[in-house]
A and B are shown apart, each in its own frame.
Chain A
């Protein structure tokens, strides 16, 4: 079983709809991240969380919100989706405890299309 799972894997939605992307991990890591990947732009950080009570904005947080429901779960919400939020979204984790905080483990991604 995958250590970092994302649901759904693919989603098509309409402009103005609210949508939630979910991420779960079984690695026991404390840190979790949400990224989006666009062609020609690489991965850009949306939000990150170091524990359930610690949420931080990343490089491109406008139009997004997150919820850390438990150490293992980190959800990304688009309150009112717009077409330029069409992208590939990745969740990632890392672990402060092992001293390898720089090594991130990524989920398989969610392809979101906003029409």
Chain B
């Protein structure tokens, strides 16, 4: 059973606008959440993370929001750029960081 879900397989956004990627999880024991970005023919690269004790973490154009009561997190990219076009995966793990559970990914296309 999928413990981390990304229900939108794809998203298209105009350059300069905000991109919002969503992720839901079922396991309340998760302590840490991450977003990865993946270009074709490359491995995923770490983008941003958030601890379960926070509700927001910001790094430049990227902000992750966590709503623990709803078991939901989102990644906001503002402003979106064509180079942001990639597949984005959310992932979750416990405090020990033993096992990581990934969502199925959302393919973001930023239109120039």
Contacts and interface: CB of A to CB of B under 8 A. Distances in A.
Interface of A: 4, 31, 33, 35, 40-45, 48, 56, 58-59, 90, 92, 94, 101-109
Given A4-B43, A108-B42, A40 B104 contact: yes
B43 A90 contact: yes
Given A102-B34, A102-B49, A103-B34, A45 B41 contact: no
B32 interface: yes
Contact of A43 (B49, B89, B98): B89
A102 B43 contact: no
A43 B46 contact: no
A59 B45 contact: no
B34 A43 contact: no
Contacts of B89: 42-43
Interface residues of B, number: 25
A55 to B, nearest CB: 12
B43 A107 contact: yes
Given A42-B103, A45-B100, A59-B99, 8 more contacts: A33-B100, A42-B2, A42-B102, A43-B91, A45-B101, A90-B44, A103-B49, A104-B46
A44 B45 CA distance: 16
B93 interface: yes
Contacts of B41: 108-109
A35 B43 CA distance: 11
B102 A106 contact: no
B91 to A, nearest CB: 8
Contacts of B49: 102-103
Nearest to B4: A42
Contacts of A58: 99
